[in-house]
A = this chain, B = another copy of it.
Amino acid sequence: MPVTSGKIAELAGVSRGTVDRALHNRGGVKPEVENRIKEIAQKLGYEPDRAGKALSTRKNPPRFGVLMNSLGNPFFHEVKEGIAAAQKELADFRLEILMRETKGYRAEDQLAALDAFAQQDVKGVVIMPVDDPRIAEKINALSGTGMRFVTVNTDISQTRRLAYVGSDYFQSGRTAAGLAELVVPGRAELLIVTGSIKNLGHNQRIYGFSREMKDRMREIRVADIIENNDDEETAYIAAKQKLKEHPGINLVYIVSGGAAGAVKAVSEQKRKIHVLCFDSTPQIVSLVKKGEITATICQKPFEQGYRSVRVLFDAVVNGVLPESEFLYTDCQIKIRQNIE
């Protein structure tokens, strides 16, 4: 028989109201009584009942903010679906979610959105942060006022966020290298396509790849690196030229968005060149199915959205902190036969 607040009240010789105030540190309880109550709760392993809580929380429901620079990026569609799914599962609690989607990487936009959240009594924020010290500062300042943060898809260091939910980019890079070894057993000559050399995730995918290659003592030559700002046309033109310059290239490793451009350049070649990339936007799915991309490594965007909201909710509403600061989603290998 689970412990209820009523039972604790009885044992402590007080009322349920007092127990509630004591356990939530809401003040107005004599310190000695508060301690006694907490001890009893501890000893009996009291866990507040979720159903009862949901029912009573209805009067002032929790409110979260979600902040992502996701506009115009198809990848984030699934992340948003995950967020919606979590909200639906938490419908009992009438969780409100304020969505703010921005375009591009301007720190100013995020700062303004965070301030707006603070005005609106937002208890927790899921954020895909721009890597800027002002954002870190703002997160820390708001944390001081009790607002809780979870970073999703992209992390930011030096902050008091509760957790990061997303891909382990370094490990996905390693996994790509493992695939490379399988499909190009001999000497690998590599063309890398990255979105930006300032994008942390992209860099880690490259770093993980080369680390794995080194650890496995594989002979590898990086013919060139293309920076395409996630743009298809740029990737196409640059790849076309590089593939001509380096006829020995047998592997194209795309860590950025906008893979299709580079793939087009590859498929215009006569020789067999393997392509490895990341994520599974509809365009990529179609290219994998056609065999123009050998494999893609996915990071479970749906789960990223779902999980980040759940983790935040557990912390804000139930006072339960995540098991780890780093909540990595699976690193999934998809080839034409298992991509859908």
Residues of A within 8 A of B (CB): 49-52, 54-55, 91-92, 171-172, 174-175, 177-179, 182-183, 212, 294-295, 330-338
Indicate if the CB atoms of A179 and B335 lie closer than 8 Å. yes
Q: Is the CB of B92 within 8 A of A335?
A: no
A177 to B335, CA, bound (A): 11
Closest 3 CB pairs of A and B: A51-B54, A178-B337, A333-B333
A178 touches B336 (CB 8 A): yes
Q: Is the CB of A335 within 8 A of B51?
A: no
The A interface is mostly helix, strand or loop, or mixed, namely helix
Structural contact, A337 and B175, CB atoms closer than 8 A: yes
Q: In the complex, what distance in Å separates the CA atom of A171 from the CA atom of B339? A: 11
When distances are taken between beta carbons in the complex, the residues of chain B under 8 Å from A182 are 182-183, 294-295, 335
Q: List 10 A-B contacts (CB under 8 A).
A: A49-B92, A50-B54, A50-B92, A51-B54, A55-B55, A174-B337, A178-B335, A178-B338, A179-B335, A182-B182
A338 touches B51 (CB 8 A): no
Q: Is there contact, CB below 8 Å, between B338 and A171?
A: yes
Instruction: Specify which of B52, B172, B338 is in contact with A333 (CB 8 Å cutoff).
Output: B338
Looking at the assembled complex, report how far the CB atom of A7 sits from the nearest CB atom of chain B, in whole angstroms.
15
**Contact partners of A212 in chain B: CB under 8 A:** 337
Residue of B51, B177, B178, B338 touching A175 (CB-CB under 8 A): B338
A331 touches B338 (CB 8 A): yes
A212 CA / B178 CA spacing, docked (Å): 24
A326 to B163, alpha carbons, bound, how many Å?
Answer: 35
Chain B residues within 8 Å of A55, by CB:
51-52, 55
CA distance A91 to B175 in the complex (A): 38
